[in-house]
Amino acid sequence: MRVLVIEDDQEASAYLVKALKEAGHVADQAGDGDTGLAIAREGIYDVLVIDRMLPRRDGLSVIESLRGEGNRTPVLILSALGQVDDRVTGLRAGGDDYLPKPYAFSELLARVEVLARRNSPQEAQTVYRVGDLQLDRLSRSVVRGSEPILLQPREFRLLEYLMKNAGTVVTRTMLLEKVWDYHFDPQTNVIDVHMSRLRSKIDKGFERPLIHTVRGAGYVIRDDG
């Protein structure tokens, strides 16, 4: 995966590029809005990570220009402004996801990877499969092996999101955002409890667990077999 990081803080930018490379991706960087826009126009990137406040041309303007030119590359906006209304303006300008600073790298990596998958064929499928687990988005049914599994509506959406991004780590914050549509920080980790409930329905009594906890990052569904 090719990632372009447009960020004026040299140190943060260098760290980010290095970490992305260590995670197995190709990463480039630009230090201001104009340069970033010029490089992004080449259209060779899978994801753009754009800081909101940039010298010469601010981040939102870069996104607006790209979108105006028909460039649909997924964009993750980084911003020191983390409030609800700032996020809304960022997404309205054409951003696809919004991450307030300071962030954990694991959070950024998970979001970038999910964004990169957005245009994959998996997106359009009506049936998701991981190992012997099968989720039908139309009939809203879940089957493991030959055994049907009954899920609450929210549990279904949780599993759907995990399976849509099968093999990719999703963080707790992402789950709270995408499955519950909340962007605040519930002080207690409510997501973990929901996950353990889902796990008990999906994995309990089966030989191979599909849902895995990734320490310090989040959860991933994959078939290790």
Partner 1 sequence: MVDIGRPHHPRLRLFRTTAFKLSVIYFAVFSVFAAFLIGYIASSTTQLLTSQMREAVDTELKGLEDEYRQGGIPRLALVIDRRSRQPGASLYLIADANGDKIAGNVSAVPESVLNGVRTGVQTVPYARLDEGDRSGSHSALVRVVELPGGFRMLVGRDIGERDYLAHVIKRALILTLGMMVVLGLASWLFVSRRVLRRIDSMSETSRTIIAGDLSRRLEVTGTRDEFDRLAESVNAMLVRIERLMVGLKEVSDNIAHDLKTPLSRLRSRAEAALAQGGGEAAYREALQAAIEDADQLIRTFNALLMIARVEAGSSNAEFDRIPLGTIAGDIFELYEPLAEEAGVDLRLEDCPAVEIRANRELVSQALANLVDNAIKYAHEAGGEPKVSITVRQDRGRVEMVVADNGSGIPAEDRERVTQRFVRLEKSRSKPGAGLGLSLVSAVAQLHGGSLKLEDNQPGLRAIVSFPAGDAVADA
19 or 190: CB nearest partner 1: 190
Asked whether position 185 contacts partner 1 by CB under 8 A, the answer is yes
Residue 214 lies near partner 1 (rule: CB under 8 A): no
Measured distance CA(179)–CA(162) in Å, rounded? 10
> DSSP class of residue 115?
H
Rounded CA gap, 13 and 19, in Å? Answer: 10
Site for partner 1 contains 187 (CB under 8 A):
yes
| Of the candidate residues 10, 120, 136, 182, the single one contacting partner 1 (CB under 8 A) | 182
The span of 9-17, 39-47, 58-66, 184-192 binding partner 1 (CB under 8 A) equals: 184-192
Q: Is 11 in the site for partner 1 (CB under 8 A)?
A: no
Q: Which amino acid is at 81?
A: L
Contact 147, 89 (CB under 8 A): no
SS3 38: helix
Q: Does 43 bind partner 1 (CB under 8 A)?
A: no
For partner 1, the binding residue among 56, 137, 178, 183 (CB under 8 A) is 183
Q: Which helix (H) or strand (E) holds 76?
A: strand 75-79
**Nearer residue to partner 1 within complex by CB, 34 or 203:** 203
Nearest to 221, CA basis, from 133, 118, 137: 133
190 binds partner 1 (CB under 8 A): yes
Pick the binder of partner 1 from 188, 207, 224, 225 (CB under 8 A). 188
6, containing H or E segment: strand 2-6
How far apart CA 31 and CA 35 sit, in angstroms, is 7
Which residue number, 56 or 199, has a Cβ lying nearer to partner 1? 199
**Could you tell me which stretch among 30-38, 39-47, 127-135, 194-202 binds partner 1 (CB under 8 A)?**
194-202
Contact 78, 104 (CB under 8 A): no
Closest approach, Cβ 129 to partner 1, in A, equals 27
How far is it, in rounded angstroms, from Cα 119 to Cα 130?
A: 19
Total site size for partner 1, rule CB under 8 A: 24
Please report, as ranges, the residues that interact with partner 1 according to CB under 8 A. Answer: 82-86, 88-89, 100, 102, 104, 154, 180, 182-188, 190, 193-194, 196-197
